[in-house]
Every structure is written in C-alpha cells, then in structure tokens.
C-alpha cells in the first residue's frame, strides 16, 4: 500500500520518502495532514477512484502506529459500506505500507479538495475515535470532477474497482429484519425493513424517514429497553414503552442539546453507535417531540449474509400522517375534513397536505429512494 504524503504529514511521521514505482493505483493513496476543530486530521484520497478515508483527533501514539491506524480506518469504513470481510482483509493486506512524497500537482489538488470537504462536514466527526467511517462514506458519495471534465461518485467507482480486481461479489454483511409500528390508536400503520447491522443509528433514522414518508423537519431520538426489567413511566414520558420495559439507553441526534441527564439511562449520539451494538433488542423511535410520533421497533430475524449495501423495504400497510398535523388529535380532525367534501376547509386542507408531502404508501418508490440515499 503506497501512501503519498504531503511534506507536512511526512514531517509529523518523522519519515523520509521512499521511492516506489509501478504500484497499482487502486492501492495508492494521497494523504495530507490538516487541523479540524484544532485536532490533527489525516485525509486520504485513493489515486484511482477518489475514495476518501478520514482519521481524526490523532495523537502522538497514533502517528507511531500510523500503518495500523490507516488499516483500521479502511477496515471500519469498508465494513460500514457492507463490503465483505474477505475482500477487506485482502485489500488492507495487499502489500506492506510504504510512505513517500506526493506524486503530482493534479493529485495534490484532489487531496486538497477532500480536505476542504472534511472541514465542511466537521459536525459529523466522532470525537471519541480516530476512525471516521460515517464521514468517510459521506465524502466518498459526493460527486467530483475526475480532472478531464467528467464527473464521478468515488464510492461507486471503488465498488467497480474492487469487483474488477477481486472478481467476486463485493457486498456481504450481517443484517436485521425489522417490523416498525407507528403508534396510532385508530389506524394500523407499519413497515418491514432489512438494514445492515454495520450501519449506524443515523442510517436507521434516515431509512425510517423514507419508509414512513416523514420530511426530516424535526428532532428525533431512539430508546433501547431491557426486556427483563419493568419500569412504570407516565404515558406522556418520552421513554414510555407500552409493555413497561425499562429504558436503558437514549440515542440522540447530533443536533440535539442534552438538557438533563437520567443516571439510569446511558446517553449516546446516534452517529457513534452501530446497530449491531444494541440489536436484537426492544427499541422505540420518537420523531417530532410536538406531534409525538412513536415508532415501536421489533427484530423479526437476523440475516447472516445480506448481499446489498443499502436497506430495503419488504412490506407495509397504511399511510403516515402529514407533518405538523397536530399529533393524533390533529390527524383525526384532518381526516374528517378531507373525507367530507362539503367541509369549508376541505379544499384548503388537501392543498396543505400535498405541501406536507402526504402520499399513499408506495413500496416501489420507497425502495428507489432507499437505494438512491444509501448506495
């Protein structure tokens, strides 16, 4: 593996450039060292396909074991892409790591572009680990100029390159089949979803928004429950579970301010936690603290070999209420108005509902959106 470093990174590593020619560009990376949030950050861009790997918050000990840190950064990012472990191991162990200087101005310009993009997405960086698969995936999904006037998606180019080099199906990971029920007293609304366990809770949030046709306009959170312990909570408490299970973990969006702390509940940010850390398990997803839409999530099956790198919706029933309708009470009032053509607000309410994204459950459209969002 050839790592072509800027002078700044070579100086930090206290290494001299070792000349090397003829390496396969798939196993060559350009790398730079920058500061993001005043923390040392290494950004790597693949020479062949522009795929990006980010290491963040690097300390002296990390630079002493830099090859190992790069390997793990690649491993965790490729795992988050659902690339199968056989290919991951073959890729990161293809050759010994060799560090040399940058090759040419064109490739330096590409690494500089990736560094700017890393700064742009700094709010998504995980402060508790040098490995940043979520940000690496995000950067690698961005459309970039290939230098000849054409544009490409680095992640899709990486998939093609791995497929061509290893000549086997590159995707393969553990996944979970979920059934999600939207709590509505007078309506039966549910969806079934398969999602890779390597994904983060951020990804599950995005998938839930798509399959329920929410518009992602409000805050959200997850609760994880201990099925062996019960706890009586008020039905109005956000952690309330209809089977009175005890909440043990609260997973928050990265934009939510933690106002108070319950000593019995562990708090995490969703972009730092993989689904595999808490599934299978009882779970609830709250969306829009005003309208208070509660989604109860049940694990139906664990899947050992899932051959996709995006979620799919298997089935579903019922329509989701429009955004900002006023909770269940407001939803019933809304339905009364649109079902009664003689109601004075009938026409206006239909127009408003359309502006809120209200539409019938369409599994084909949902799966197109899921693939577009995640692949």
pLDDT of residue 150: 85
| pLDDT over threshold 60, residue 260 | no
- Are 200 and 158 within one domain? no
Confidence band, pLDDT 50/70/90 cuts, at residue 122: confident
Residue written as tokens 């955004």?
Answer: 323
Cα separation, 202 vs 271, in Å, equals: 5
**Is 138 in the same domain as 255?**
no
Q: What is the pLDDT, as a whole number, of residue 346?
A: 84
Last residue of a domain, one of 166, 189, 221: 166
Pair of tokens at residue 289:
């603290």
| Count of domains forming the chain | 2
Please state, rounded to an integer, the average pLDDT across all residues of the chain: 91
Model pLDDT for residues 328-346, shown as the tens digit of each residue:
998 888 888 888 888 888 8
Considering the domain architecture, whether residues 123 and 252 belong to the same structural domain is answered as no
189 and 298 share one domain: yes
Residues 84 and 103 in one domain: yes
- Judge if 277 and 200 occupy the same domain: yes
Q: Give the CA-trace dihedral at 121, 127, 129, 132, to 10 degrees.
A: -10
| Residue 332: Cβ within 10 Å count | 17
Cβ-based neighbours of 142, under 8 Å, separated by 6 or more: 117, 153, 154
Share of the chain above pLDDT 90, in %: 68
Whether 10 and 140 map to the same domain: the answer is yes
Per-residue pLDDT, averaged over 11-31, amounts to 87
Q: What is the structure's pLDDT at 35?
A: 96
pLDDT band, residue 205 (cuts 50/70/90): very high
* Predicted local distance difference test score (pLDDT) of residue 262: 60
Mean pLDDT throughout 26-50? Answer: 95
Residue that is last in its domain, among 138, 166, 194: 166
Would residue 116 count as lying in a domain? yes
Q: Do 11 and 138 sit in the same domain of this protein?
A: yes
- CATH number, domain at 229? 3.10.290.30
Q: Which of 298, 76, 301 is nearest to 174 (CA)?
A: 301
Say whether 174 sits in a helix, a strand or coil. strand
At 84 the pLDDT is 92
Question: pTM to 2 decimals?
Answer: 0.88
* Owning domain of residue 111: 2-166
> What average pLDDT does this structure show over 33-48?
96
Cis amide linkage into residue 345, ω under 30° from 0? no
Reference 48, options 23, 69, 67; nearest CA is: 23
Same domain, 145 and 193: no
- Given a contact cutoff of 8 angstroms between Cβ atoms, the answer to whether 172 and 84 are in contact is yes
Predicted local distance difference test score (pLDDT) of residue 269: 86
In percent, the amount of the chain with pLDDT more than 70 equals 97
């Amino acid at each position: 593996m050839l790592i072509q470093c800027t002078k700044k990174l070579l100086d930090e590593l206290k290494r001299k450039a070792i000349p090397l020619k003829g390496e396969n560009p798939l196993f060559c990376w350009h790398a730079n060292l920058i500061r993001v949030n005043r923390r040392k950050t290494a950004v790597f861009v693949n020479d062949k396909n522009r795929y990006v790997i980010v290491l963040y918050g690097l300390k002296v000990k990390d630079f002493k074991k830099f090859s190992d840190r790069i390997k793990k950064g690649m491993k965790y990012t490729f795992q988050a892409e659902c690339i199968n472990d056989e290919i991951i191991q073959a890729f990161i162990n293809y050759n010994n790591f060799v560090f040399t200087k940058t090759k040419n101005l064109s490739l330096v310009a590409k690494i500089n572009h990736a560094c700017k993009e890393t700064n742009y997405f700094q709010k998504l960086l995980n402060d508790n680990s040098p490995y940043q698969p979520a940000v690496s995936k995000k950067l690698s999904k961005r459309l970039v100029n290939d230098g000849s006037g054409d544009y490409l998606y680095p992640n899709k180019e990486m998939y093609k390159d791995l497929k061509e080099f290893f000549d086997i199906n590159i995707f393969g990971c553990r996944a979970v089949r979920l059934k999600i029920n939207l709590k509505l007293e007078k309506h039966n609304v549910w969806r079934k979803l398969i999602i890779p366990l390597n994904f983060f809770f951020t990804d599950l949030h995005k998938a839930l928004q798509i399959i329920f046709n929410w518009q992602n306009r409000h805050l959200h959170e997850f609760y994880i429950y201990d099925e062996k312990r019960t706890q009586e909570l008020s039905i109005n408490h956000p952690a309330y579970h209809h089977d009175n299970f005890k909440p043990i973990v609260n997973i928050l969006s990265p934009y939510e301010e933690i106002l108070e702390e319950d000593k019995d509940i562990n708090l995490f940010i969703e972009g730092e936690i993989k689904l595999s850390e808490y599934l299978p398990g009882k779970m609830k997803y709250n969306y829009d603290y005003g309208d208070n839409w509660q989604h109860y999530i049940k694990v139906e099956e664990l899947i050992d070999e899932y051959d996709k790198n995006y979620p799919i919706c298997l089935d579903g029933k019922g329509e989701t209420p429009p955004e900002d309708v006023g909770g269940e009470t407001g939803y019933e009032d809304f339905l009364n108005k649109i079902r009664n053509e003689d109601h004075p607000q009938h026409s206006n309410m239909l127009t408003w509902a359309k502006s809120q994204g209200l539409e019938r459950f369409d599994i084909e459209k949902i799966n197109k959106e899921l693939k577009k969002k995640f692949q």
